[in-house]
Amino acid sequence: MIPYYSFQAHDLQEKDASTANLKLVVGLEGATLCISRGNQLLALRSWQLPASENPNPNFATTLGGLLGTEKCLGWNFASRICAFSSQEATLVPKRLFESNDLAPYFKLLLKDVNKYRFGHAPIASIGGHLVWALKTEVYGLIGHYFHSKQCMHLAEALINALTTKAPTDTFGVFCNIRGHGLQVFVFDRGQLAYYNYFNFSKPSDLLYYVLLAYKQFDLNPIHIPLNISGTLAEDSEIYRLLQRYFRTIALLKPEPGLILPPEAQNLPAHFWFDVSTV
């Protein structure tokens, strides 16, 4: 599969990996690979998979083929981490959390919990946990290149980063878009109050899911800005539609430490926000 964007330093070689860091974000929507040393970007590639039914029965095969073409995944990096994006993730308050039995949290969402691998991460801002599920075959593919301590759910990375950006005196609404996947976060005075993931096929679907979050907290789109990151172009139908409903749309820039080279300027900086949080 050919990436829709690809940059690599002309002198990047395997011997450079020992002093470099590898980040990989994967999901039904596509994948992004980032190699850096300090604030120097050495490689950045991104693939977008076509929209399909969820779950996509061919996703594991597609992902396996994509990862198999990246020889750099076999290099010995100073550090490596993979963040996966999946719809099967939920926030669980501490009083209801049981780390030894995670499957029951998804019994109403998954037809066969035996086909999934489960995990969790503490979320300090809610005093609870993010609990996730990922198809066992997909987790196994990732496991060829990353051990369990090098894997995390993308929502965990985004929550941690957005907590530092959320206003402390009012509500803050953030959206991360990856292909046809939408993650929505709502913060109440700096504390995470809501998280959800949606698949959408039309711009109107995305608008509906965002407005649904505003309605749940009785927020006015005129007064509360919408903060966006991910694969959303400013000349797209989605962006024009959002402009009709939200007075202020802010595009999030990558976290400090990821300095994009001139070659990467053909895509907006907010495209790379999520991988910068990993």
Q: What is the pLDDT of residue 138?
A: 93
**Residue with more model confidence, 272 or 258:** 272
The whole-chain average pLDDT of the chain stands at: 91
162-200: b (≥16 Cβ within 10 Å) or e: bbeebeeeebbbbbbbbbbbbbbbbbeebebbebbbbbb
Contact 241, 207 (CB under 8 A): yes
Of 77, 272, 47, 273, nearest to 179 (Cα)?
47
Contact 136, 91 (CB under 8 A): no
Confidence of residue 107 (pLDDT cuts 50, 70, 90): confident
Q: What is the pLDDT of residue 56?
A: 63
Please give the average per-residue pLDDT across 193-197, as a whole number.
95
Confidence of residue 52 (pLDDT cuts 50, 70, 90): low
Q: What is the pLDDT of residue 79?
A: 97
CA distances for 85 relative to 29, 34, 46, 256, angstroms:
8, 16, 14, 22
Calculate what percentage of the chain has a pLDDT beyond 90: 74
Q: What angle do CA 247, 249, 216 make, to 5 degrees?
A: 75
CB 36: neighbour CB atoms within 10 A? 19
**Residue with more model confidence, 28 or 90:** 90
Instruction: Give SS3 for 109.
Output: coil
Contact 200, 206 (CB under 8 A): yes
Structure tokens at 242: 């959002």
Q: Which of 108-117, 235-244, 247-256 is most confident? A: 235-244
Give φ, ψ of 184 to 5 degrees: -120, 130
Sheet with 181-188, side-by-side order of all strands: 191-199, 181-188, 171-178, 226-230, 249-251
Please give the average per-residue pLDDT across 86-100, as a whole number.
93
Structure tokens at 172: 């803050």
Among 22-31, 35-44, 94-103, 255-264, the range scoring the smallest mean pLDDT is 255-264
Q: What is the pLDDT of residue 57?
A: 66
- The full set of domains in the chain, from first to last, is 5-88+121-277 (3.30.420.260)
Q: What is the pLDDT of residue 10?
A: 86
Residue 90 has pLDDT above 60, yes or no: yes
Residue 265 has pLDDT above 70, yes or no: no
Contact 5, 267 (CB under 8 A): yes
